[in-house]
Amino acid sequence: RPFGCADCGKSFAWASHLERHRRVHTGERPFGCPECGERYRQSSHLLQHRHTHAGDRPHKCAECGKRFAGAAELAAHGR
């Protein structure tokens, strides 16, 4: 893994993964929600957050049928 973090030594196969990891150390959150201003380190986290504004809840609990905007919320519900 040729791309190593100068702060913690963690290494990555891709430069883009190192760039994303660096945000852990810098605190940079470049992806902002245009509706509420909440900011995220990864674009995928922003996209997941945007479901909360749209009312979109694509993740359904197989046990009770309750729906969730994100997979993490569904997983927490199942615990």
Domain boundaries, the chain: 3-77
pLDDT in tens, 9-68: 999 999 999 999 999 999 999 999 999 999 999 999 999 889 888 888 889 999 999 998
Answer with the residue of higher pLDDT: 31 or 71: 31
* DSSP character string of 6-62: TTT--EESSHHHHHHHHHHHH----EE-TTT--EESSHHHHHHHHHHHHT---EE-T
Does domain 3-77 correspond to CATH entry 3.40.50.300? no
Q: 34-49 burial, b for 16+ CB within 10 Å, e for fewer?
A: eeeeeebbeeebbebb
